[in-house]
A and B are shown apart, each in its own frame.
Chain A
Amino acid sequence: MATVLEARDLVKEYPGVTAVGGVSFAVEEGICFGLLGPNGAGKTTTVEIIEGVTPATSGEVYYYGEPAGAKFRQEVGIQFQKTALQDFLTVRETIEMFQALYDRKADFDELIEQCSLGDLLDRDNRKLSGGQRQRLLLAVALVNRPRLVFLDEPTTGLDPQARRNFWDLVQNLRALGSSIVLTTHYMDEAEILCDEIAIMDAGRIIAQGAPDDLLRGHYEGLIIELPIGDLTDELAEIEHTIYENLGIVEFVTTDVSASLQQLSPHVTNLNHIKIRQPNLDDLFLDLTGHSLRA
């Protein structure tokens, strides 16, 4: 598999602040690569440096082994986290305008079908709902049949239904062969969509790999969680790997039955106990000591 994109030691410094402190990663052809982290981690700055809209303090970006340049601009599609479109234009006119900026063009009808915009073509941009607007922005990002698509927090602010619809669109896109770089702070989104992830915190990548591999590498077993108020004893007296966050205590165990037996004398209400698989939220908390949503 060819390497579509390679970021080498990207640094972005503002006076008194290092927003991105030496980020490097590579994206293989045909995969969905997730850049995860809390707000302010440096995800958007990193992708905007790669996209060429924010100048880096230092570092290099390569597209199919060449420094990113005119070919990169022709062949990538970008959906920014925040983008305004021209007022008073319809969905059709907006797509046509952006399509005219590229040499490569997607088939208009296929694009409309792909993004489910068929009923909205003559609607004013300003009169779209949040989900419809995101679908239009995705269509704008796809007008040039991109080989590589950047999606920067595409589902932020969408309701659950619209989020799931958007995930379907991204999965279809991947099935059609495009490579995707997705930034998000939704771990469930990353787990569903991404083949590989890099977790960022404070401008650096702190973990990178396939989501399952990362979780397997950090956790052995399942997580038992219960409200801290249900514990009768101090945490230190219980022999398990323990995390505490937002009033919830989590115990990592490879033997759930044995753990429950050991815990039960120390818990006032067993009905509050939950048993689940570890996820990327747990991993992030484990790696950084603070929550993703903090």
Chain B
Amino acid sequence: MLRRIFAIFRGRNREFLRDRASFAWNLLLPIVLIFGLSFALGGDRNTYTVGILQDSDDILEEQHPFLSMRYIRFVPTSNKDDALRKVSRHQLDLLVEFGEAPRYWVNPDSSKGYFVELALLQSDGTAPPTIDKEQITGDAVRYADWVLPGILGMNMMFSCMFGVGYVVVRYRKNGFLKRLRATPLTSFEFISAQVASRMVLIICITVFIYTGTHLILDTRMEGSYFTLFLVALVGAVSMISLSLVISARVTSEELAGGLLNMINWPMMLLSGVWFSLEGAGTFVQNLARIFPLTHVLDSARAVMLDGATIGEVAPSLLALTALSMVFIGIGAKIFRWGQF
């Protein structure tokens, strides 16, 4: 069995590595995006973002005059620890808690925090201010630090989805699957070879891009490389499995492309590749949890930016593993070799 899996694994690897255009695209696209976005969006964000510590999801302007100020995005949050970490990372310019004992947290190293603090105090209108101040320190998370896992995850998603799903459909359409069907190769062996091949290739590509980007841009890495590798590995298997479900029966490349895009685009938009879904509604944030990419990005960012341990990202790893098992089970059940 292993001999047959390895034969198909090696054949697919050769096919991919010798297809120079596809290989270069897999390497160049994420690199161009990371460096391009780092330069284009690397400066300060144009709007001010202030976290409002409260249980409700609604911002009530009558609560305080500060909440009606223009050009400030107010983000309700009930997780104080998470919000404080974001202030320390400059992801929130200020965190405010209104109520009986109003207070705010600001990072003295944040230029935007300084101006938002002035706006808060001016709007408060009392002298001396009746709102207590606390300071949080920490270095800013640059956009490059934040977007790097997003782009690597997106590249992984496209590579896994199209590199497996589309290829399997092409094999089925041109009769190569039928040819393999006439050999002792089983569907389990074929699927295993495809998963292994794409997993090894995408992990190598991701490690290469990450290493290069990390060395050149000196991106933030607070956690363990092993944990990050584990996240990438489990995430890749999950997305390859998803692509196998889509390609299990489809015989048309056009239909496969449409189905893959139908999943890829919402996954890319809702998983927080480019921008955080911090201010999005609860429904959208919950919806995003069904996508493997969301778990990959949340875990990768937690490891890279916050130094999360395996234990802390375990829920996401378990979710990805569960999704993989469901996808592989469905894919193996409905897989067809031919067009009949």
A: which residues have CB within 8 A of B? Answer: 51-55, 70, 73-74, 76, 78, 80, 82-89, 93, 96-98, 100-103, 140
* Shortest distance between the CB of A81 and any CB in chain B (Å): 9
Convert B3-25 into 0s and 1s, putting 1 for each residue whose CB lies closer than 8 angstroms to a CB of A: 11011101110110011000000
Q: List 17 A-B contacts (CB under 8 A).
A: A52-B182, A55-B340, A76-B182, A80-B175, A83-B179, A84-B171, A84-B176, A84-B179, A87-B15, A88-B14, A88-B15, A89-B11, A93-B11, A93-B14, A101-B4, A102-B183, A103-B184
Contact between B7 and A101 (Cβ–Cβ < 8 Å)? Answer: yes
Is chain B's interface secondary structure helix, strand, loop, or mixed overall?
A: helix
Which residue of chain A is the closest to B3 with respect to CB atoms?
Answer: A100
Contact between B184 and A84 (Cβ–Cβ < 8 Å)? Answer: no
Q: Is B307 an interface residue (CB 8 A)?
A: no
A13 CA to B327 CA, complexed, in Å: 32
Chain B's interface size range is: 20 to 34
* Shortest distance between the CB of A139 and any CB in chain B (Å): 13
Chain B residues with Cβ below 8 Å from A52 are: 181-182
Assuming A80-B182, A88-B19, A102-B183, what are 8 further A-B pairs, CB within 8 angstroms? A73-B183, A73-B184, A80-B178, A84-B179, A85-B179, A86-B15, A101-B184, A140-B179
Chain A residues with Cβ below 8 Å from B182 are: 51-53, 73, 76, 78, 80
Q: Is B162 an interface residue (CB 8 A)?
A: no
Contact between A83 and B183 (Cβ–Cβ < 8 Å)? Answer: no
* Shortest distance between the CB of B66 and any CB in chain A (Å): 62
A140 CA to B180 CA, complexed, in Å: 11
Chain B residues with Cβ below 8 Å from A74 are: 184
* Shortest distance between the CB of B86 and any CB in chain A (Å): 47
- The 8 Å CB contact of B181, one of A53, A84, A140, is A53
Specify which of A54, A78, A89, A97 lies most central, judged by the most chain B CB atoms within 10 Å of its CB: A97
Contact between B183 and A98 (Cβ–Cβ < 8 Å)? Answer: yes
* Shortest distance between the CB of B64 and any CB in chain A (Å): 65
Specify which of B174, B176, B182, B185 lies most central, judged by the most chain A CB atoms within 10 Å of its CB: B182
A88 CA to B11 CA, complexed, in Å: 9
B: which residues have CB within 8 A of A? Answer: 3-4, 6-8, 10-12, 14-15, 18-19, 171, 174-176, 178-185, 337-338, 340
Chain B residues with Cβ below 8 Å from A53 are: 178, 181-182, 337-338
A52 CA to B185 CA, complexed, in Å: 13
Chain B residues with Cβ below 8 Å from A51 are: 182
Chain B residues with Cβ below 8 Å from A82 are: 175
Which residue of chain A is the closest to B340 with respect to CB atoms?
Answer: A54
Chain A residues with Cβ below 8 Å from B171 are: 84
Contact between B12 and A86 (Cβ–Cβ < 8 Å)? Answer: yes
A220 CA to B11 CA, complexed, in Å: 57
Chain B residues with Cβ below 8 Å from A98 are: 7, 183
A272 CA to B182 CA, complexed, in Å: 50
Which residue of chain B is the closest to A73 with respect to CB atoms?
Answer: B184
A80 CA to B339 CA, complexed, in Å: 15
Chain A residues with Cβ below 8 Å from B18 are: 88
* Shortest distance between the CB of A31 and any CB in chain B (Å): 21
Chain A residues with Cβ below 8 Å from B340 are: 54-55
Contact between A83 and B11 (Cβ–Cβ < 8 Å)? Answer: no
Contact between A100 and B4 (Cβ–Cβ < 8 Å)? Answer: yes
A93 CA to B17 CA, complexed, in Å: 14
* Shortest distance between the CB of B14 and any CB in chain A (Å): 6
Known: A53-B338, A80-B178, A100-B3. A86 touches B11 (CB 8 A): yes
